[in-house]
Structure 1
Amino acid sequence: MHHSIRSSMFNEFVPLKLRIVASTRFAYILVMMKRFKLIKGGLQTLVISEKWASYRKDDVGKARKVKDKVLDDMWWDKLDYILSFTAPIYDMLRFCVHYKPCLHMVYDMWETIIEKMKLAIYKQERKRLEESFTFYDVIHKILVDRWTKNNTYVHCIAHSLNPRYYSDQRLDEGLNRVPPHKYLEVPQERMKCMRKYFPSQEEHVKEKL
């Protein structure tokens, strides 16, 4: 069966295009998974239609595997699960690439990511928030390592200078939230930033040398 025929058959049942995202693009796997979720109904209608039989003739084994996967509720449940706890990460990074000021929001958004991700995982696994869970611990470590690598003192000082993060309303939004000045990391990184922009006389001499 020619590609054009397959494409025509796909377009007949699915209102959206099945995009092919370059593997070099960030989160391309998540982009594809989100697209699969959107076209789920169309794909299921396609594989149970009479036209699927004509496609099946080319490769019976592959066609059966695709049909079984598309009609597998457990597979779709796993996809929903993955999207649920990766959505906060994806949304934050999408937000940060917009052409508008967001530096002062990065630190708070990072904290929110951890909270939302934990809630999604623990809800799915039916765990209490105070329990330790290996799967969450692994993902949390990956995120912390990435944050440690990319975090800068500018994020911290921008966060600490925003009055919103000292308000009672913001502090009541999540568990164990405290004002920026009570985080150990924020004052330390803020001081690094201040020393960078306002070096001492001794540091001036070192730079000239």
Structure 2
Amino acid sequence: MVLAGKKLEAEFPSLYWSPCAALCLNLILTDLGKLDLVKETVDHASKITRYLYNHCNPLYLMRQFTDGHEILRSAPTRFATNFVALQSIHKQKDALRTMVISKEWTSAPCAKEAKARNFVDLVLDQKFWKDCASICNFSEPLVRVLRIVDSDERPAMGYVFGALHCAVEEIEKRFQKKKRAIQQPVLKAIEERWDKHLNKNLHAAGFWFNPTNQYDKELMSRYHTTTSGIIDVIERYAAKDPALCKALTKEMRIFRGAEGDFGRVTAIADRDTMLPDEWWLTYGCSAPNLQKLAIRVLSQTCSASGCERNWSLFEHIHSKKRNRLEHQVMNDIAYVQCNSRLEQKSQLSKRNYDPICLEDIGKFAEDWILEDDPQVLNVEEIERYRKGLVPNDKEICNAIAMNDEARWIDEDYENDMNASQENEHNGGGEEEDHTDAGRVDEHNGDEDDSFYEENRGSVTDWTFEYR
């Protein structure tokens, strides 16, 4: 991809190419995930979540002490899952520690098991919570930048440069006393990816064109090198037109000095409230040539999320089982589905979800839920768990009753199938009666199996590990 971008720039001198900013931030988070501190802390935290989400009584107590909040949340991308999960667990630190020393926990039957005692040791480990706080402190600014880059609400080209530099400054401020242990490895990972991928003049030009940044003298004095970036963009944009290049540099002075429409009272008031490209469209008439260039730069996308979303949608429509669709029909289906999702998203929530590798998010989260060697409970252990549960909780009682009914249906279905197979094996003269009985058994088996399939979803959370 990088080589193809360089060839395109060489072929078309006025063309700018830059990699996906979301991918760059994902690679930064991936590099940070390889640090020993992060790997050990993630492994420690995943043991806590595995125990909780594979044992019904501890999970019930956890939800009571956290007021119904889960300790696992979806992340903007699959690369950020570990860091978002650590932030969520650290947020429930007091609730988890209170739970394992409460009377409800100590009196529960499951608290006497070896796994439960190991779980208590994991939750009460002071070093784990200290390391978890450190990781949250340096990952939280980067996750915020990732959300800005993948936002569907506004073009991020005018914010990428400033957002990433603000994140670096925030990390430096938070770890002034831990420069060698944490600050240096984290900043090194960020700088390597930034210099290799995102250190482009186009992002510097987006920063310079943003009126919120341009009229902040302190901010522009810190990032005065962005002026060199905008000049490079202008020279490439007007390479074959010296008159246009001269007009652009002249209009730069008008924009910096807030002359003409740039200095209007409404323009000053809208600098921080209006999107940069809309602001230029409204108040950029005093510099028509620079206005056209600014709108082009600020309207650019810096993430490949839209392309990834379309690819995932077409892969879902054009599958191995449905591969004879005509081209126009497939485009129409994709159009309807895409607009339906946008309409549903605007109605239900304003939160942005990252479509990059959406299919792998659930698979990646299994490390936080599934046990390596899940235990299988016998009848006596299940009865002991039941006695320890709250008898007045209707949700638990209904789930247990539904689970028993589904299990009995499975057993009856298996017995009927075994009897049918034995009759077929033995044969006999009553061939017509055997055929009718086989039909009745088969019909009943289908009804039982469909009933189990319909009701299995309501008890999955409580029997996930046992199955």
Would you say same fold, with TM above 0.5? yes
| Conserved 8 A contact 1:159-1:180 | no
- SS state of the match for residue 26, structure 1? helix
Cα 1:135–1:45, aligned 2, differ >3 Å: closer, same or farther? Answer: closer
Name the structure 2 match of 1:148.
195
Aligned 1:109-188 pairs, distance under 5 A: 109-123=163-177, 125=178, 133=180, 135-151=182-198, 152-167=200-215, 169-171=217-219, 177-181=222-226, 186=229
**Letter in structure 1 aligned against 2:57:** I
| Conserved 8 A contact 1:44-1:71 | yes
**Letter in structure 1 aligned against 2:232:** M
- SS state of the match for residue 103, structure 1? coil
Q: Which has the larger radius of gyration?
A: 2
In the superposition, the TM-score normalised over structure 1's length comes to: 0.71
- SS state of the match for residue 55, structure 1? helix
| Conserved 8 A contact 2:204-2:226 | no
Cα 1:137–1:7, aligned 2, differ >3 Å: closer, same or farther? Answer: closer
Name the structure 2 match of 1:106.
160
Q: Deviation of residue 78 (structure 1)?
A: 1.9
Q: Deviation of residue 14 (structure 1)?
A: 2.1
**Letter in structure 2 aligned against 1:57:** K
Q: Which runs of 5+ in 1 are unaligned?
A: 128-132, 202-209
Aligned with 1:26 (options 79, 92, 97): 79
Aligned with 1:56 (options 111, 129, 144): 111
Q: Deviation of residue 120 (structure 1)?
A: 0.8
| Conserved 8 A contact 1:166-1:179 | no
Q: Deviation of residue 158 (structure 1)?
A: 1.1
Q: Deviation of residue 32 (structure 1)?
A: 0.8
Q: Deviation of residue 64 (structure 1)?
A: 2.6
Cα 1:86–1:18, aligned 2, differ >3 Å: closer, same or farther? Answer: closer
Name the structure 2 match of 1:70.
123
RMSD between superposed Cα atoms in Å: 3.2
- SS state of the match for residue 159, structure 2? helix
- Identical pairs, percent: 25
Q: Deviation of residue 168 (structure 1)?
A: 5.0
In the alignment, the residues of structure 1 paired with residue 93 and residue 211 of structure 2 have an alpha-carbon distance, to the nearest angstrom, of: 44
In the alignment, the residues of structure 2 paired with residue 107 and residue 30 of structure 1 have an alpha-carbon distance, to the nearest angstrom, of: 23
Name the structure 2 match of 1:205.
none
1:8 aligns to 2:41 (yes or no) = no
Cα 1:171–1:41, aligned 2, differ >3 Å: closer, same or farther? Answer: same
Cα 1:7–1:136, aligned 2, differ >3 Å: closer, same or farther? Answer: closer
In the alignment, the residues of structure 2 paired with residue 12 and residue 162 of structure 1 have an alpha-carbon distance, to the nearest angstrom, of: 47
Where relative contact order (Cα < 8 A, 6+ residues apart) is larger, the structure is: 2
| Conserved 8 A contact 1:160-1:180 | no
- SS state of the match for residue 154, structure 1? helix
